[in-house]
Amino acid sequence: MAANRTKEKKKKESPVEELKQEKEEQVSVKELVKDERTHKITGIAFLIISLILFFAFTSYLFTWKEDQDKVLQNASGVLFNDELLVSNLLGRFGAWISHLFFYKGFGVASYLICSIFFIAGVNFLFGKKIFSLPRNLKYVLVGLLVLPVSFSFFLNAFGFPWGGAFGNYAAGWLSGFLGKTGTGLLLSLAAISYIIWRFNPVFSLPQRKPKEVTVEPLPEEIIERIDLNEPVVKEKPVPVNQLKKESGFTPIPLQQEEENPLHSFSVTEKEEEPVYEDEEEEYEEEEEEADEPVEMTIPVAEKPVRQPKTDMPVEGPALEIKNAADEEETEEDDAEPSVKKVVENLPPYDPFLDLKDYKFPSLNLLENHGSEKIVQDPHELENYKNQIINTLRNYDIEIQKIFATVGPTVTLYEIVPAAGVRISRIKNLEDDIALSLAALGIRIIAPIPGKGTIGIEVPNVKKTVVSMKTLLSSEKFQHNNFGLPIAIGKKIDNENFIVDLTTMPHLLMAGATGQGKSVGLNAILVSLLYKKHPSQLKLVLVDPKKVELSLYRHIEKHFLAKLPGEDEAIITDTKKVINTLNALCIEMDNRYDLLKEAGCRNLREYNEKFVARKLNPQKGHQYLPFIVLVVDEFADLIMTAGKEVEMPIARLAQLARAVGIHLIIATQRPSVNIITGTIKANFPARIAFKVSSKVDSRTILDTGGAEQLIGKGDMLISYNGELTRLQCAFVDTPEVDEIVSFISKQRGYPQAFLLPEYVDEKELEGKDFDLSDRDALFEDAARLIVQNQVGSTSLLQRRMKLGYNRAGRLMDQLEAAGIVGPSQGSKARDVLIKTEVELEQHLQMMG
């Protein structure tokens, strides 16, 4: 049976084979020329010709003396004169062809001919344009014109045909025409021109003091678009900057780049329209004057003041106000002329007086990770370009132009489709293009907002790590005037992405585990630590995982804020998180009260007024630092505490911006039950690292794309209505350790910045005030409150030199004794007893 089947099969196959043979016989010349095998054979033939010429020429260098006479004498028949014995390695042919090229032609420059055959051979053999033949032909042509003349002119010795007949003739003619000196100079000009053209050396005059230039220098690494409409393949991978120069890419002027909304998010460029409201512009002016960091050192005298909210005595001259004037009269408008005079005469309040020796961390604490030079293989560019064009062509989509912008991790191919092509068609081909490029993480932006082009982002084979050090040492970071500058990463065009957290004004970060979230948080925190004095910034760190943020515990006395009575500043316990969030709400309300009383619209105006000594510390006014709340692993909190966490966060996010409280919330699980509508509505700025699904991407960014990222700090940021792809700056844990230890070794405040105490009402229920437990200062406190008719804890703290806890306890006792009303959040409590006489009676009754 089996044998029969094989026979049948053979029978069946034979007609096919016959057909095949017939077909092979009928191959037309046209098909033969097109056939891949013909190309390979031609390629090898060319390579062999190139080798034959090379060996013949090289042998000629050693045998020319012996062979020259023989060839000259038998000029016509040398090739076929069997009796003629020559010394050239390639025999009579070698002797003849070398004589032809060297003696009668171009001398040593004849070697250039070999290169033509070599290049044509390689291109044919591999079926690709590995080297550019037209470019080679150009070089060969110029070489054959210039080199023989130079060789003949300069090396006219030893009887060797250095420049061949052509060289001799041309050099002789030139010498007659220009004289020897003229010819020498002309040939030198040719050589120098070539060197300048090829290598563009830098000629610099001895250093003179440069004039003051006000234009901001552009960051070095900005890379322009590469025009892929010309061949880009070079012999070996070269840095893109060089590549552009060498292969004649058409660099598009930077101005055009800036017009591209994808690139134009240069929030730090001076000429950019500021995104701030009026008041913030003013703030910048103020900061500009004050903020003149030289190598990260901010001048001490011109910074706003921090009035520590601790029990430590307030340093500096602000207390002099008290001596000079009644506290009721120190308000700017009502102030007596004499008071005004004193205030005017005082120098502005020194911001850093509390820690005036504080040194900002130096950039040396950070490391360079990798070379930072973006190296792009031109073959990769060419390949991807062709594959993109071919894939689109397979679907009948023609394109007009294609450009590439090479970023640290991805390259953006920008396509201008032919007229009439529907953009949605290209968008639908996302998967096909990804398949044809055999690359993961392709993202298609159709269209690029504000442009008639379509973007295809393709991950680079070789990725570059963006070091935090590069970003922090950049001009943009060092000389900006942002309230809270944060360096996040680099855009696809290599521009540094440095923004002001105060304008965000809060930030939501999401990303699957291991995709770079913690590194991103560290990058933000490190940026702040590099730019802010401890008096200007306080961090509230919430870290349910207990590991990520614990690095920062050593700077508790410099930069951290905590609840009164807590041991640890970094909050890991859910219950304490709720208390802290509510305490922050109280702080926010308190700040609003202070702002209202001072007649200021925001923190900046308020601090400005305070620094100018227009606000009276005796009335509770103090310098207010920014507070940044960082929550790592928000999902854990929402899962365990739900609304109890969500409500204060939403409230803070809605209102806290004006009073300088900003939120950074990170989560691994960007699902809708965690990032609820309320949270989302209040966090317009969002970052997504790689997430596991399109749904997750939509939850965080309101659009897909984050699932296509490639991890390791590759991210999308949605800010100001724009979506930008960034490579997050990399800062390693040992670097953070170094910075933290540098700060922690310096003198700090006596304790962390204390947040207002928040007592859960539920906990208080049932707790009655026991008269026998009365504080020793109870009666004094009661008198003070009644005299002033202000039920404020800070009044007790200030006047009685008490800590926050004790003052708070006293106030609770006063409430229990019916002297003051219940707490009203940030507002002072009502005082229920109006006169001192009444109070004395009350105290007596209490016994």
Ligand X SMILES: Nc1ncnc2c1ncn2[C@@H]1O[C@H](COP(=O)(O)OP(=O)(O)OP(=O)(O)O)[C@@H](O)[C@H]1O
Instruction: Tell me the two tokens of residue 275.
Output: 């995104």
| Inter-residue contact 810 to 783 (CB < 8 Å) | no
What's the closest the beta carbon of residue 409 comes to ligand X, in angstroms? 9
Using rule CB under 6 A, residue 47 touches ligand X: no
- Report the residue number, 355 or 410, with the smaller CB distance to ligand X: 410
- Report the residue number, 474 or 579, with the smaller CB distance to ligand X: 474
What's the closest the beta carbon of residue 631 comes to ligand X, in angstroms? 13
**Which positions from 260 through 289 interact with ligand X, judged by CB under 6 A?**
none
CA-wise closest residue to 466 among 540, 528, 520, 531: 520
| Inter-residue contact 581 to 311 (CB < 8 Å) | no
518 assigned binding-site residue = yes
Among 564, 705, 713, 748, binds ligand X (CB under 6 A): 713
- Report the residue number, 712 or 806, with the smaller CB distance to ligand X: 712
Distance between CA atoms of 533 and 546, rounded to whole angstroms? 26
- Report the residue number, 455 or 511, with the smaller CB distance to ligand X: 511
748 assigned binding-site residue = no
Residue with tokens 């590549």: 243
Residue with tokens 């680099």: 490
Using rule CB under 6 A, residue 712 touches ligand X: yes
What's the closest the beta carbon of residue 467 comes to ligand X, in angstroms? 9
**Greatest CA span in the chain, whole angstroms?**
144
Distance between CA atoms of 120 and 100, rounded to whole angstroms? 22
> What would you report as the CA-atom Rg of the chain, rounded to the nearest whole angstrom?
39
- Report the residue number, 625 or 670, with the smaller CB distance to ligand X: 670
| Inter-residue contact 752 to 554 (CB < 8 Å) | no
What's the closest the beta carbon of residue 144 comes to ligand X, in angstroms? 51
Distance between CA atoms of 525 and 828, rounded to whole angstroms? 35
What's the closest the beta carbon of residue 296 comes to ligand X, in angstroms? 22
What's the closest the beta carbon of residue 670 comes to ligand X, in angstroms? 12
Using rule CB under 6 A, residue 367 touches ligand X: no
516 assigned binding-site residue = yes
What residue ranges in 532-656 does DSSP mark as E strands? 537-542, 561-562, 626-631
- Report the residue number, 96 or 730, with the smaller CB distance to ligand X: 730
105 assigned binding-site residue = no
Using rule CB under 6 A, residue 519 touches ligand X: yes
Letter string b/e over residues 586-597, b meaning 16 or more CB atoms within 10 A of that residue's CB: bbbbbbbbbbee
Using rule CB under 6 A, residue 465 touches ligand X: yes
Among 317, 370, 514, 642, binds ligand X (CB under 6 A): 514
Among 728, 795, 802, 833, binds ligand X (CB under 6 A): 728
Among 115, 152, 496, 515, binds ligand X (CB under 6 A): 515
**Which positions from 22 through 41 interact with ligand X, judged by CB under 6 A?**
none
* From 260-268, 478-486, 511-519, 779-787, span contacting ligand X (CB under 6 A): 511-519
Count of residues in contact with ligand X, rule CB under 6 A: 14
Q: What is the SS3 assignment for 685?
A: strand
Distance between CA atoms of 301 and 667, rounded to whole angstroms? 40
Among 121, 308, 511, 625, binds ligand X (CB under 6 A): 511
What's the closest the beta carbon of residue 753 comes to ligand X, in angstroms? 27
Which residues is 631 bridged to in the sheet?
542, 665
CA-wise closest residue to 122 among 114, 113, 131: 131
Write out the DSSP string of 109-137: GGHHHHHHHHHHHHHHHHTS-SS-HHHHH
Q: What is the SS3 assignment for 791?
A: strand
* From 319-327, 479-487, 507-515, 751-759, span contacting ligand X (CB under 6 A): 507-515
**Which positions from 52 through 71 interact with ligand X, judged by CB under 6 A?**
none
* From 91-99, 315-323, 515-523, 596-604, span contacting ligand X (CB under 6 A): 515-523
> What does DSSP say about strands 485-491 and 722-728: parallel, antiparallel, or unpaired?
antiparallel
Task: Give the residue closest to ligand X by C-beta.
Answer: 713
What's the closest the beta carbon of residue 463 comes to ligand X, in angstroms? 8
* From 184-192, 425-433, 513-521, 623-631, span contacting ligand X (CB under 6 A): 513-521
733 assigned binding-site residue = no
- Report the residue number, 376 or 518, with the smaller CB distance to ligand X: 518
What's the closest the beta carbon of residue 728 comes to ligand X, in angstroms? 4
**CA atoms in the 13 A half-sphere facing the CB of 776:** 2
What's the closest the beta carbon of residue 712 comes to ligand X, in angstroms? 4
Is residue 786 classed exposed, middle or buried when 0-12, 13-18 and 19+ CB atoms within 10 A define those classes? buried
Among 297, 371, 400, 513, binds ligand X (CB under 6 A): 513
| Inter-residue contact 300 to 352 (CB < 8 Å) | yes
Among 730, 758, 778, 804, binds ligand X (CB under 6 A): 730
- Report the residue number, 621 or 686, with the smaller CB distance to ligand X: 686
What's the closest the beta carbon of residue 520 comes to ligand X, in angstroms? 7
Residues 666-695 as x/- pattern, contact with ligand X by CB under 6 A: --x---------------------------
Phi first, then psi, for residue 269 (nearest 5°) are: -70, 140
- Report the residue number, 417 or 516, with the smaller CB distance to ligand X: 516
- Report the residue number, 133 or 465, with the smaller CB distance to ligand X: 465
Mark out the alpha helices in 200-222 (DSSP H runs): none
* From 122-130, 264-272, 478-486, 514-522, span contacting ligand X (CB under 6 A): 514-522
**Residue 644 vs residues 641, 649, 766, 782, 824: alpha-carbon distances, Å:** 6, 9, 22, 35, 20
- Report the residue number, 511 or 620, with the smaller CB distance to ligand X: 511
- Report the residue number, 712 or 809, with the smaller CB distance to ligand X: 712
* From 144-152, 435-443, 508-516, 644-652, span contacting ligand X (CB under 6 A): 508-516
* From 129-137, 334-342, 510-518, 573-581, span contacting ligand X (CB under 6 A): 510-518
Instruction: Tell me the two tokens of residue 21.
Output: 């043979």
What's the closest the beta carbon of residue 518 comes to ligand X, in angstroms? 3
Residues 633-672 as x/- pattern, contact with ligand X by CB under 6 A: -----------------------------------x----
Is residue 694 classed exposed, middle or buried when 0-12, 13-18 and 19+ CB atoms within 10 A define those classes? middle
Distance between CA atoms of 847 and 845, rounded to whole angstroms? 5
Instruction: Tell me the two tokens of residue 438.
Output: 């055999």
Write out the DSSP string of 727-768: EEPB--HHHHHHHHHHHHTS---SSPEEPPP---HHHHTT-P
Instruction: Tell me the two tokens of residue 661.
Output: 């409280």
Phi first, then psi, for residue 717 (nearest 5°) are: -120, 130
What's the closest the beta carbon of residue 510 comes to ligand X, in angstroms? 10
What's the closest the beta carbon of residue 596 comes to ligand X, in angstroms? 41
- Report the residue number, 78 or 728, with the smaller CB distance to ligand X: 728
Distance between CA atoms of 105 and 92, rounded to whole angstroms? 18
Using rule CB under 6 A, residue 361 touches ligand X: no
DSSP letter, residue 106: I
- Report the residue number, 144 or 687, with the smaller CB distance to ligand X: 687
Distance between CA atoms of 40 and 128, rounded to whole angstroms? 11
Among 68, 518, 580, 602, binds ligand X (CB under 6 A): 518
Instruction: Tell me the two tokens of residue 418.
Output: 């032919």
Distance between CA atoms of 726 and 490, rounded to whole angstroms? 5
43 assigned binding-site residue = no
828 assigned binding-site residue = no
CA-wise closest residue to 716 among 729, 731, 726: 726
Binding residues for ATP: 511-518
Binding residues: 511-518
Catalog residues that contact ligand X under the rule CB under 6 A: 465, 511, 513-519, 668, 712-713, 728, 730
